[in-house]
Every structure is written in structure tokens, then in C-alpha cells.
Amino acid sequence: MTVRPIRFYGDPVLRTPAAEVVAFDDDLRALITDLEDTVREPGRAGVAAPQIGIGLRAFSYNVGGVVGHLINPVLSDLDGEQDDDEGCLSLPGMEYPTRRAWAATATGVDQFGEPLTIKGTGLLARALQHETDHLDGRLYLDTLTGDIRRQALRELRRGPRAARR
């Protein structure tokens, strides 16, 4: 079991769009194992490959005790709206109300290149959207608007809470 360290805000890998996975080999399967081991840590709903320093379009999720992964995801069927607090392992200690679709479908492939579709509502839909954003070099802070965005950016300028400990 390998729990990989999380990259924090400021690391360029978090702002770089990840490359599409084209090789479904032992290296990819090792990455998926590491992602799934890393997301099993308490309090984690998702981990994208860039968050562990790997610029590939893959992520793992852990919602309701179900751990899985998706490679080369494409989101569709975004429906409804939720506006709950959202955080990010790469921005420790920060949580802000973030508007996401209530329901989402993500299609892609598994670690063997086989087609895979994940449909979710609530927290799973939020995780699918959040992790796919990571693969596009976006952070949840980028979706914030108005006073909430200004508040988050002020907190960010003070530095991540993990760094202030």
C-alpha cells in the first residue's frame, strides 16, 4: 500500500492540464493502485493524479465506502444544482460554498482500457466534477464568484493553513 503525498497550491502540476492516458500498462495500474490507496485515507472523497504529481488524466474517488477510479473522464448529463461547502486536499483547511451540478455522469475507461461510466448525485457528483477540474488544471477556487471568491483569495494570500501550523 502506497499513500502518496499531496501536492499543494502553488505547485505548477496543479495548474497544468493533464495528458490523456494512452498506455494501459503496469505503470498505469501501479498509479491507479496508489491513487486508490491515497484516497482511502480518512476524510478524502477524491484524488486526481496531478495532486500526487502525475500529469495524467486519472482520478480515484471514495464516496459512501465505494472506492473506484476513472481514466480520461468526460462529464455529461449535469443536472440540478447544489451549493455546499467544498474543500480540496491541495488547499488544506479551506472550505467554501461551491456551486456544482447535483447529478453528473462521467464516462471514460478503467485501468485496463475498458469503457466505464459512473453516475452520481450529491457528493459523488461533486467529486466527479471536482476531480475532472483538477485534470483540466482548475481548482475549485476558480469556480467561486463574488464575495465568496474575494474571501477565499484573501485567505489564500495569508497562506494555506497547513503552512501556518
- Tell me: the pLDDT tens digits for 53-107? 999 999 999 999 999 999 999 999 999 999 999 999 999 999 999 999 999 999 9
158 — pLDDT class (breaks 50, 70, 90): confident
**Would 3 be classed as within a structural domain?**
no
Residue 72: which residues within 8 A CB-CB, separation 6 or more?
20, 21, 57, 58, 108, 109
Number of domains, the chain = 1
Question: What's the pLDDT score for residue 163?
Answer: 42
Q: Averaged over 122-147, what is the pLDDT? A: 97
Domain limits for position 139: 12-158
Mapped onto helix, strand or coil, the DSSP state of residue 99 is strand
Active site residue ranges: 131
- The answer to whether the CB of 78 falls within 8 A of the CB of 104 is yes
Using DSSP bridges, classify how beta strands 46-48 and 115-121 pair: parallel, antiparallel or unpaired: unpaired
Residue 160 scores a pLDDT above 60: no
Residue 50 scores a pLDDT above 80: yes
**Would 165 be classed as within a structural domain?**
no
Residue 164 scores a pLDDT above 60: no
Question: What's the pLDDT score for residue 162?
Answer: 44
69 is in an annotated binding site: no
**Would 2 be classed as within a structural domain?**
no
Mapped onto helix, strand or coil, the DSSP state of residue 109 is strand
**Would 7 be classed as within a structural domain?**
no
Region at 84 (left for phi over 0; alpha for psi -120 to 50; beta for the rest): beta
**Would 6 be classed as within a structural domain?**
no
**Would 4 be classed as within a structural domain?**
no
**Which is nearest to 73 in space by CA: 37, 103, 124, 115?**
115
